[in-house]
Structure 1
């Protein structure tokens, strides 16, 4: 019997309070989402700095590039924390 594969990392379903017809609501939601992602990546970087494993430097470098790109996105779209 066929059993469809289940995703490895399922995110919990949460009710979103984003009103797509309101520009500020969408901007606020995107801002919060990107800030959360940056915080997670920065925590991963800190954990990796304490790890003694092969290729840690490569992983840290990749995460740092991701953080830089996300922060650049926030700057380019004027989604700085002072507005929200």
Structure 2
């Protein structure tokens, strides 16, 4: 009977760090957060045009979310890249 054996894994080899990926990740995160901010700003404008009973609470919540997202971009020095 022929047994197929898998080679045993050796000691962990350190993976090379590719620093060029860091900027692409930062750019992607910045773009995502900027898109989320723009989407929340559009929701706020829509809510201001409606007479929903809880619109003021929702607007306030969205404004806090926007402030936190913009604060995140500022803390990580991504504010310059952000497009709202």
- Common fold: TM-score over 0.5: yes
Q: Which has the higher contact order (CA 8 A, sep 6+)?
A: 2
Contact map agreement 1:20 1:26 (CA 8 A) in 2: no
In the aligned structure 2, how far is the partner of 1:50 from the partner of 1:23? 41
Q: Which runs of 5+ in 2 are unaligned?
A: 1-17
Q: Pick the structure with greater CA Rg.
A: 2
Q: RMSD across aligned C-alpha pairs, in angstroms?
A: 2.3
Superposition TM-score, scaled by structure 1 size:
0.71
Superposition TM-score, scaled by structure 2 size:
0.71
Stretches of 4+ moved more than 4 A in 1?
Answer: none
The Cα shift of 1:81 comes to 3.1
Q: Which runs of 5+ in 1 are unaligned?
A: 1-18
Number of paired residues?
66
